[in-house]
Structure 1
Amino acid sequence: MTRCRLCGSEAMASVVDLGATPPCESFLAAEQLDRPEPAYPLHLRVCTECWLAQIPPLITPEDTFSEYAYFSSYSKSWVEHARTFVEGAVERLGLGADSFVVEVASNDGYLLRHVVDRGIRCLGVEPSVNVGASARDAGVPTVTEFLSPKTGAAVRAGHGPADLVVANNVYAHIPDVVGFTQGLRALVADDGWVSIEVQHLLTLIEENQYDTIYHEHFQYYTVASAARALASGGLTLVDVELLPTHGGSIRLWSRPAEVAGEPSRRVAEVLDREKAAGLQELTGYAEFSARVAKVRRDLLRFLIDAAERGETVVGYGAPGKGNTLLNHCGIRPDLLPYTVDRNPYKHGRFTPGTRIPVLPPERIAADRPDYVLVLPWNLREELSEQLSFVHEWGGRLVFPIPELSIVEVER
């Protein structure tokens, strides 16, 4: 990568190099196991002009999202998070029967179904054919499109301007930051609001969350770099909320520049935190690569020692972040014979690169392993409750991030 995709600068500095991995959601069917599997470099760099952290756009969103393996509704905590957001947005913005809400990357309608339940007109803009169909089956109006300025203008022309545009966990997934932001501006009413949730680079660095670096995520935002990205499309950041989701996220509230006004005090407070952490200079990134290497060593040491003792370790979950971790650590079925997932789409498939089988969750109770390696560590509370039954045979849970943690399960 020679130029920043936001500001065009060539002043790019390395943050961490994770080698080469397949796209994290490209699960393999059994008949694909004897075929070549493409892998792409996964090297995070930061622009020292605008401080946007980014990876090279070696795959396109079309490669990843035309058919997608992730369905948001399989996480109870994520559905509840969406319900709480909708309740708060309705109150904050005074949304009602005459309002119009658009969600970009609406997945299987996990969020907009709460809007539908309130009798508010809405539309999902979802690029994945399979999950968009699932949303429509659930009663959520959805069009199958990637957002661009042209798409945004077409939706606005056909459905009217949106009082609220929601873009949760998608702002990192698009290589054309400027074009996507212009698409958001095309969708939103001239006096409307745009709400974006995206992982916070501050917590990614501080909490060693390197497994959230994968090819679907083209960039990683601080509030400072996000404000600059929003401005590129005619939007102004007016407020920010710090969220616990995905290990630490930011909710960015923005409006068209003409009506935005002054940003809230919370914006200034988070900007000060980012500056104090050194994220607007290279010092804030200096030790990250070494801490990433320690996660790899500690996890491999645990798995190898468990195998030498004749103890069994299986996985729970098959998230994208888990595939970054498995590939970076070089974990294969000899150390992790399988993982399980609640999403039936993944059952009978194999993790990209590492070729670990994905099975239904019931397999854990049947096999009674000594340890369960929890790959979606960001759902620690929810999954600790779901997996409380492993206490019956003295099993323990293992969380690899931010550092290796082996915990007894309480009933």
Structure 2
Amino acid sequence: MAAACRLCGSTGLAGVVDLGATPPCESFLTAEQLDEPETTFPLHLRVCTECWLAQLPPLITPEQTFTEYAYFSSYSTSWVEHARRFVEERDLRPGAFVVEVASNDGYLLRHVVERGVRCLGIEPSANVGQAARDAGVPTLTAFLTEETGRRVRDEHGPADLVVANNVYAHIPDVIGFTRGLRALVADHGRVSIEVQHLLTLMELNQWDTIYHEHFQYYTVASARRALASGGLTLVDVELLPTHGGSIRLWAVPDPSAEPSPRVTDVLAMEKAAGLHELSGYHDFAARVAKVRRDLLRFLVDAAEAGHTVAGYGAPGKGNTLLNHCGIRPDLLPYTVDRNPYKHGRFTPGSRIPVLPPERIAADRPDYVLVLPWNLRDELVEQLSYVREWGGRLVFPIPELEVVS
């Protein structure tokens, strides 16, 4: 039986790129698990030729990934600053009520709390939700469904602002989730959604952001249809630099609301790039293959020349990159990460040790392979000390670049 699009039900799904089979990207291994088998799942991105929603089949469930989660948003200085600016730019009056879905460790709502505005986080991961509560951010441990949205509304009242950052791609039931957003928001309220833009993913070879916890990848065209499926109307869009290129979608419950000129402009950009027809997706797999070959060639040449290489960061995207390229500890002996949760663990599939960041200064490697390339400006500053011994930074995306 042919797979069907989870948004419109069409069976017209066309392959975009097949990255093989990998373990879930956040399933970091303990030392005790290294002698155990790992389950892998196909990582084949397809696009619906009816509604143009790019998607992976739902081979894992959100419960498998997000019940306990390895990602804590507050470890990214630039992301916390991004959240602070967002809150500052909103006209949040003392009587307002703000709900954030997938609120993580309170990285955004803590700024709302500081302003004395009532808020609630809805976070499915018990461990990161507890970190938010410890920081003084009211947080409900739950996945958002239409039922959850109604329950929160009944208990706390409708929300003037609902925020959903980097979660709209993480749920296979996109229609049910959208109905949950509608249940939360007041009739006069607004919903703000930030999600990676498929346009920049395609144009800048950001294929490592394809992993199992991202079930779909949005254009504004497909996002508008997804929002409408749950009773929300897209009224505005902002282009953001975060995560390599994101869109901030503004939606309201009013079906008669008119979209801003920016919506029309971005739709035109997508159409010009060919993303509203199949031709725009044809050469992506070849560009992925070139990035893979170039990175492997660099690492093999470095090893044969006796140069040392360490990794920086252990993000989900890095595990797609490492596994599709077949990079193992012989080419990358270790990577480091600021998140203590990952220290002493091993990357899924590639089984590369994750160590504290101080290890780089101690070892003074010739090259540092930066896996969270989307935080380039932040990390170039953090890693400026590598220049002291003549070390160089390596960025694999959008194309291999070695910088001093």
| CA deviation string 1:165-220 (max 9, x = no partner) | 00000000000000000000000001100000000000000000000000010000
Q: Residue type matched to 2:319 in 1?
A: N
Which of the residues 359, 365, 378 maps onto 1:369?
Answer: 365
Amino acid at match of 1:176: D
Give 1:128's aligned residue. 125
User: Is 1:40 aligned with 2:41?
Assistant: yes
Cα distance in 2 between the residues matched to 1:192 and 1:96: 13
Paired amino acid for 2:214: H
Residue 304, structure 1, aligned to residue 300, structure 2:
yes
Q: 1:350 aligns with which of 346, 349, 366?
A: 346
Counterpart of 1:273 in structure 2 is 269
Pairing 1:405–2:404 present: no
| Alignment correspondent of 1:2 | 3
Q: State the distance in 1 between where 2:26 and 2:241 align.
A: 23
Aligned residue for 1:33, secondary structure, equals: helix
Instruction: Please tell me the residue identity of whatever aligns with 1:4.
Output: C
Equivalence map 1:246-285=2 (5 Å): 246-258=243-255, 261-285=257-281
1:289 CA displacement: 0.3
In structure 1, distance between residues paired with 2:6 and 2:257: 27
1:138 aligns with 2:150: no
| Correspondence 1:4-403 to 2 at 5 A | 4-90=5-91, 95-258=92-255, 261-403=257-399
AA aligned to 2:46 is R
State the 1:379 CA deviation.
0.4
Aligned amino acid, residue 26 of structure 2:
E
**Root-mean-square deviation over aligned CA pairs:** 0.6
Q: How far did 1:257 drift?
A: 2.8
8 Å contact 2:133–2:139 — kept in the other structure? yes
Following superposition, the deviation at residue 14 of structure 1 comes to 0.3
Which letter maps to 1:43?
H
Distance 1:174 1:141 in 2: 23
What is the rounded CA distance, in whole Å, between the counterparts of 2:119 and 2:373 in structure 1? 32
Q: CA deviation at 1:279?
A: 0.3
Amino acid at match of 2:62: P
Distance 1:38 1:261 in 2: 46
Provide structure 1 residue ranges, at least 5 long, that are not aligned to the other structure: none
Runs (4 or more) in structure 1 with deviation over 6 Å come to none
Residue 187 of structure 2 contacts residue 254 of structure 2 at CA under 8 Å; is this kept in 1? no
Q: For residues 252-274 of structure 1, what are the alpha-carbon distances to aligned partners after superposition, in whole Å with 9 as ceiling and x for unaligned? A: 0000034x521000000000000
What SS does the aligned partner of 1:403 have?
A: coil
Distance (Å, rounded) in 2 between the aligned partners of 1:5 and 1:363: 44
Q: How far is the alpha carbon of 1:117 from its aligned partner?
A: 0.5
Cα separation, 1, equivalents of 2:10 and 2:233 = 22
Q: Which runs of 5+ in 2 are unaligned?
A: none
Q: 1:160 and 1:32 mapped to 2: Cα distance?
A: 45
Distance in 2, Cα, partners of 1:340 & 1:6:
38
Distance 2:270 2:235 in 1: 17
Q: Give the aligned residue type for 2:220.
A: V
Count of residue pairs the alignment pairs up: 403
